[in-house]
Amino acid sequence: MLLGMTQAPLEDPQPGTRTALVTGGSSGIGRSIVTALVGAGFHVFVTGRRQPELDSLVEEFGDGVTTVRGDVSHLDDLDGVYTQVAQRGRGLDLVVANAGGGTFATLQDLEPEAFDQTFAVNVRGTVFTVQKSLPQLNAHASIIVLGSTSAARATAAFGVYSASKAAIRQFSRVWAIELAPRGIRVNTVTPGPTETPGLAGLAADPAEAQALLDQEAGRVPLRRLGQPSEIADAVLFLASPRASFITGTELFVDGGESQV
């Protein structure tokens, strides 16, 4: 062990002693991550763009969550989140950069506005979510970035989204090196096709949505879509002391889609 560095404790901390931030946590995979973290004893700061869904989190979890409406691509909104974290006075033990999205467009049909929006949320939003968390991170904190199997393969009409997720994967590798001297771990959780409103929302109508879900499930060796709770379980593991010697890695939760 290097001089001046300490090993993370192997026991799980007591409930209520840890604090997390989850961006894009009001629905889908993000909401399942929030649910898992609250269940594990975290107090969770949650960002999202839709106030009714944030309100429903408060109704479900009470003072186990603090919700902040905002868009991660707007730096002023991120500043507002971290102001509330600072006011609570307990720092952060976990940051989950989950907010993201994209649309289908071939190279021929791609509009500059769609390109800019995807990179603003997926790349700029993630980078500055993590950067602005640095003064708040406690010893042995963990940063988890949500990736995508789209970054590991080619999908027609999904190039911008795929490229944005590939960028985030490389950032997470670099951050793992840069933050290692502080004992902060950085990892990527990469879901495969997951049954969420966001996936279905890529389609134009319910019939097309079902066809899309069936198509995606058919490409998975396990022949089904993932569930948001399965992604949340992976996040919970990487955030735990049991993953104390894991950093810079990419954990695929994809039913084997990208690996076999």
The predicted-structure confidence for 106-115, as pLDDT tens digits, reads as follows 999 999 999 9
* Mean pLDDT, the chain, whole residue set: 93
Q: Residue ranges per domain, the chain?
A: 18-191+226-252
Query: Would you tell me how many other CB atoms lie within 10 Å of the CB of residue 12?
Result: 13
What are the catalytic residues? 161
Q: Give the model's pLDDT for residue 7.
A: 58
Global confidence as pTM: 0.91
Mean pLDDT of 9-27: 81
Rounded CA-CA distance 96/2 in Å is: 28
pLDDT band at 209 (very low <50, low <70, confident <90, very high): confident
Q: Give the model's pLDDT for residue 9.
A: 52
Rounded CA-CA distance 232/9 in Å is: 22
Rounded CA-CA distance 185/96 in Å is: 12
Rounded CA-CA distance 124/80 in Å is: 17
3 state SS of 218:
helix
Mean pLDDT of 95-99: 98
Rounded CA-CA distance 203/190 in Å is: 22
pLDDT tens digit sequence for 141-174: 999 999 999 998 888 989 999 999 999 999 999 9
Q: Give the model's pLDDT for residue 2.
A: 46
Percent of the chain with pLDDT over 90: 79
- Across 211-242, b (16+ Cβ under 10 Å) vs e yields ebbeebbeebeeeebbebebbbbbbbebbbee
Domain 18-191+226-252 sits in CATH at: 3.40.50.720
